[in-house]
Amino acid sequence: MKTKKRLKHINSMIRKHNPFAYLLKGGKPFSIKSALFTNTEYIIPKTVNKIASNARNAASDILKNSESIT
């Protein structure tokens, strides 16, 4: 029981300090146990790239809009 509680605490700390952790499993909370059995090295860059591309698209939209105003 104690170890289960500890794992739960560690997971909540990961979620708190790593904003990407929540996105790793497609919105499902990220857990250490699932990390051990999934290829996280593959999942993390994919998520980061997705966020980066969304940011790039948003930035280009803002630039287009500001050009049309001036």
* pLDDT tens-digit map of 14-55: 656 555 555 555 545 555 555 555 555 555 566 667 777 777
pLDDT, residue 1, reads 57
**pTM listed for this prediction:** 0.32
DSSP lists the bridge partners of residue 25 as: 28
State the burial class of residue 22 (Cβ atoms within 10 Å of its Cβ: 0-12, 13-18, 19+): middle
Predicted local confidence at residue 51, as pLDDT: 73
Q: Specify the pLDDT at position 38.
A: 53
Q: Looking at residue 14, what is its pLDDT? A: 61
